[in-house]
Amino acid sequence: MNKTPLCSVHEALGARMIDFGGWYMPVQYTSIIEEHETVRTKAGLFDLFHMGEFWLSGPDAMANVQRIVCQDAEFISDRQIAYTPMCRPDGSIVDDLLVYRWNPEKFLLVVNAANIDKDFAWISSQLSGDVQFENHSDITGLIAIQGPKAQEILQKLTRQNLKAIKFYWFTDGKVNGIPTIISRTGYTGEDGFELYFPAEKCVEMWNALMEAGKSFGIKPIGLGARDTLRLEARLMLYGNDIHDGTTPIEANLDWTVKLGKGDFNGSDVIRQQKQKGTQKTLVGFEMGKGPAPRHGYPVLYKGKKVGEVTSGTMSPTLKKNIGLAYVPPSLKEIGSTFDIEVRGKPVPATVISTPFYVRPKA
């Protein structure tokens, strides 16, 4: 099993460790609810070393990125980031990733941990022309700090003007004296930053952030709270909400698909689905009191299975059961009702607008 450089730190903090896609990772330190609320109200620290980082560079880098992903990399500016699906010719999603544009000839692609080998092989098979493609996942440290106090804490460790970094933009500089790429994206629904730096500096960076945030109530955050946070914000989890059997249109990721840029992997199928519709669509729903919905639970309509839950939880912020599910388009409208089969019994659910949680404006 793979271990991050922070493994001993997590164990010393008393984390409960689990196998997460072949990685030995902390699922929680205290309680999921407590960690979740810390990120919503203060700040939390996430070990993301397991994520993948690929560098694509060269004169033909832009043309290759444009063919591989659904977003339009020519439309975004240097030092801007795009969230995007990466599809096969049949429209199915290989992975969802972040594209960091340094300039038209240099890109950083950040992919999901469980898909590193698959993604590297897939992208390699699609490349043409004058490009260099390198996997730096093993030598890149990645720590995220998320929450309303994140900027104030991180500013103590860097001379970079963090306030000037807009959402989904990045810069580079030093954090605690360590050369670092500083980006402002996050996958929690809160404000926050991601720090990319040499892997051998992971423990040093972690300890510096924990010390800087001590007076602000910063805490380490495990996979459990990471999942509830991203679900409240309706952020996709590859393997659950999107996978090899779904397309961006089915997953309501239309906003990431830029058909105007020309042909790219999956564009023909995606264009047809936008015009003619799909047989399933991803919706958000809420349920009454009782057991929370979970991944794989059947969706029933008039007693027949018509779909299934992809993600579900008891929302720590909203104090109600919420989830995402694929259903027929006839059930996608707000207020539509169906049942979720929970422990063999049908439980009523209602389609509601998403994201379930939107952070208050400062």
Q: Which residue, 137, 227, 143, 232, is CA-closest to 193? A: 143
- pLDDT tens, residue by residue, 308-355: 999 999 999 999 999 999 999 999 999 999 999 998 999 999 999 999
**8 Å CB contact between 81 and 185:** yes
**8 Å CB contact between 321 and 340:** no
- What superfamily in CATH does domain 2-49+138-232 come from? Probable tRNA modification gtpase trme; domain 1 (3.30.1360.120)
- pLDDT tens, residue by residue, 288-304: 999 999 999 999 999 99
- Starting at the edge strand found earlier in the chain, the sheet holding 2-3 runs 2-3, 23-28, 16-20
- pLDDT tens, residue by residue, 81-91: 999 999 999 99
Q: Which residues of 316-352 are buried (b: 16+ CB within 10 A; e: fewer)?
A: bbeeebbbbbbbbeebeeeebebbbbbeeeebebebe
DSSP 359: P
279-362, CATH topology level: Elongation Factor Tu (Ef-tu); domain 3 (2.40.30)
The pTM of this model reads 0.96
Degrees to nearest 5, angle at CA 191 with 205 and 357 = 135
Q: List the domain boundaries for the chain.
A: 2-49+138-232, 279-362
The percent helix, strand, coil of the chain (3-state, each to 5) is 25, 35, 40
In the chain, what percentage of residues exceed pLDDT 90? 97
Say how far apart CA 76 and CA 66 lie, in whole Å: 12
| pLDDT tops 90 at residue 21 | no
Confidence of residue 38 (pLDDT cuts 50, 70, 90): very high
- pLDDT tens, residue by residue, 101-123: 999 999 999 999 999 999 999 99
Handedness of CA 172, 51, 8, 240 (dihedral sign): positive
| pLDDT tops 90 at residue 75 | yes
How distant, in Å, are the alpha carbons of 67, 123, 197, 350 from that of 54? 16, 10, 14, 41
**8 Å CB contact between 191 and 359:** yes
Other Cβ atoms less than 10 A from the Cβ of 112: the count is 18
Dihedral angle at the C-alpha atoms of 17, 18, 24, 25, nearest 10 degrees? -60
**8 Å CB contact between 317 and 232:** yes
Q: Which residue, 67, 100, 73, is CA-closest to 86? A: 67
Give DSSP secondary structure letters for 94-139.
Answer: EEEEEEEEEETTEEEEEE-GGGHHHHHHHHHHH--SS-EEEE-GGG
Confidence of residue 144 (pLDDT cuts 50, 70, 90): very high
Backbone angles phi, psi at 57, to 5 degrees: -145, 165
User: In the predicted model, what is the mean pLDDT of residues 219-232?
Assistant: 98
**8 Å CB contact between 254 and 274:** yes
How distant, in Å, are the alpha carbons of 50, 63, 127 from that of 115? 10, 23, 18
- pLDDT tens, residue by residue, 26-37: 999 999 999 999
Other Cβ atoms less than 10 A from the Cβ of 128: the count is 9
| pLDDT tops 90 at residue 237 | yes
Handedness of CA 257, 354, 242, 230 (dihedral sign): positive
Res 362: pLDDT: 64
- pLDDT tens, residue by residue, 247-285: 999 999 999 999 999 999 999 999 999 999 999 999 999
Residue 34, H or E segment: helix 32-41
User: In the predicted model, what is the mean pLDDT of residues 167-179?
Assistant: 98
Do the domains 2-49+138-232 and 279-362 sit in the same CATH topology, yes or no?
no
